[in-house]
Amino acid sequence: MLGVFALAMVADHASAAAWIIRPSIAVEETFTDNVDLAPTGLARSDLVTQITPSLAFSGVGAHAQLLGLIKIPVLLYAQTGAENNNVYPEATILGSAEVVDKFLYLDGAISITQPYLSAFGAQPNNLSSATNNRYSASSYRITPYIKGLAAENVEWELRNSSIWSITNGAPINVSNAYTNETVGHIGNSHSILGWFADLDFLNVKFSDQGSQRMNLVRMGPRYAYDPQLRLLASAGYEENNFPYSSYRGATYGAGIEWRPSERTSAVANIEHRFFGTSVLLTFDHRTPLSVWNVSISRNVTNYPQQLATPATSTSVDALLNELFISRVPDPKARQEVISNYIENQSLPSSLTGAVNYYSQEILLANKVSATAGLTGSRNNIFFTAYYLHNQPIAGSGASLPGFVDPGNNNTQWGGNLVWTHRVTPLVNLNLTLYALRTEANAPLSGWTNQGTARLELSRSITAQTTAFAGVRYQALHSDVATDYNEAAVFAGLSYRFK
């Protein structure tokens, strides 16, 4: 894949960088009373061994950086091995390089995840629960781009992204996809009265259907009322060609950016588009011990773009990066601090958010999310709550018939809470709660409620070795999927190589 080649080029440019490499391995034994998440009366117990070698690395140099986390969990089942033994690779690798000084740049990304096919099916937050709702999805992205100054204070940038989306192991036939997107920007944002012009050309092609094309150009003035407050207006034109319909028409909008301090920012944009009103409202705030984010959006999206964005859930690493950015300005040193903090406090890598399910249609997504992270000497709390209304639409903006893609015509409500408590300098207690409700949008019907509670106690045995043990309970109730309840106990060891 060209995405792999791009990351190899980035690694070559980063060869002189300072590297942090953290190989590790974990072994976990789980006894579950319902290994297949079957209904009462059909549940089978099993002992599951999970062996997870991992490699986290980061290399940051003057002109390139490469960051990554690779995990290869191997699941072995004592009673149901013939049906369930499997390997579930996971990877997030991000690279960037300055190929030609202050002109030509290259970004690349590889993402391998184990997502879910149906919003209404089982979505366990562990790999030991066997479910045919899980499959493997891979995304490879390469983005060369150029940028510079056209004149004094006039900045410009032109990007071209190629994304290859590959799916494996799904219980139904799904298609791979290729996405190409060209994004351009030019403007003067440093004057009291500035201007900008943007373009966005998107082409999505699944292997078994025609291309979906969306082309948009816009321009407008930008006014700096003061250094903290900026206003903008835009007018433009868009053209859409989808398998079901086409559309051509004007766009117009307005926006405001407010940054009263380096710790607080708010953005509000509204625009008339082919599907109606596009909205983006964000608020970000951080203190020395907390980070807060609220986001409200209404816009179109598609599955390959979602898949190409690593960590569709909320990254704890990213939250901590915002929290520590003032205390540790150097990016390399800050990443080391964050890695140690996550490990020492037994924090998860991410918070579970709204799930993006496989779809070959353009989706109109209405989303509201709120995220918070609070840290202390002995306690940490990370929380996210979300609402996501997905609706497949045609190129004209009209809703598609429900039978076209009923699995993605739904609404999700959910939340995830993680609390960690340092019992002693060597012992941590971790409580994780997750709940999700999915409802089909009218005229379709159906609902699913599911949730998980997990309590874990971990202890550092040596500087490189941690022992952990805990219990979990999960349940699903639905009028369109199979109900289940599951309880499990688990214990294991993790070892980080020097």
Angle at 47 between CA 41 and CA 48, to 5 degrees: 115
Tokens of 252: 């117009």
**Confidence (pLDDT) at 211:** 85
493's CB contacts (< 8 A; 6+ apart) are: 26, 27, 465, 466, 467, 468
Give CA torsion, residues 146, 149, 150, 151, to 10 deg. Answer: 180
Would the pLDDT of 21 be above 80?
yes
- Mean pLDDT to the nearest integer, 211-235: 94
Phi-psi region of 456 (alpha: psi -120 to 50; beta: other; left: phi over 0): beta
Q: Give pLDDT tens digits for 158-186.
A: 999 999 999 887 766 778 889 999 999 99
Cross-strand partners of 61: none
Strands annotated E in 176-302: 177-188, 193-206, 212-226, 229-241, 246-261, 264-273, 276-287, 290-301
pLDDT of residue 104: 97
- Do residues 211 and 204 touch, judged by C-beta distance below 8 A? yes
Question: pLDDT tens digits for 337-361?
Answer: 777 777 777 677 777 777 777 777 7
Confidence of residue 213 (pLDDT cuts 50, 70, 90): very high
H/E segment holding residue 12: helix 2-13
Beta-strand runs (E) in 61-153: 64-71, 74-77, 86-87, 90-100, 104-113, 136-151
Task: Provide the whole-model pTM.
Answer: 0.87
> Which of 94, 115, 229, 249 lies closest to 170, judged by CA?
115
Q: What is the mean pLDDT of residues 103-122?
A: 91
Whole-number pLDDT of residue 402: 47
Could you state, in order of their start, the residue ranges of all structural domains in the chain?
A: 2-496
For residue 428, is pLDDT > 90? yes
Per-residue pLDDT reduced to its tens digit, 134-155: 989 899 999 999 999 988 889 9
Give the Cα separation of 460 and 467 in Å (integer).
Answer: 6
pLDDT at 20 over 90: no
Distance in angstroms (rounded) separating the CA atoms of residues 228 and 263: 12
Instruction: Place 87 in a pLDDT band, splitting at 50, 70 and 90.
Output: very high
Dist. CA 13–CA 98, nearest whole Å: 8
Lowest mean pLDDT among 209-213, 248-252, 338-342: 338-342
For 297-313, what is each residue's pLDDT tens digit? 999 888 777 776 644 45
Q: Are 9 and 97 in contact (CB under 8 A)?
A: yes
Class of domain 2-496: mainly beta
At 406, is the pLDDT very low, low, confident or very high (cuts 50, 70, 90)? low
**Sequence-distant (≥ 6) Cβ neighbours of residue 49 within 8 angstroms:** 27, 28, 29, 75, 76, 77, 78
Burial class (CB in 10 A: 0-12, 13-18, 19+), 330: exposed
Cβ-proximal residues to 186 (8 Å cutoff; 6+ apart), any chain = 150, 154, 155, 156, 157, 196, 197
The pLDDT mean for the chain works out to 88
CA dihedral for 484, 487, 492, 495, sign (positive or negative) = positive
Residue 302: its pLDDT value, please? 81
More confident residue, 61 or 471: 471
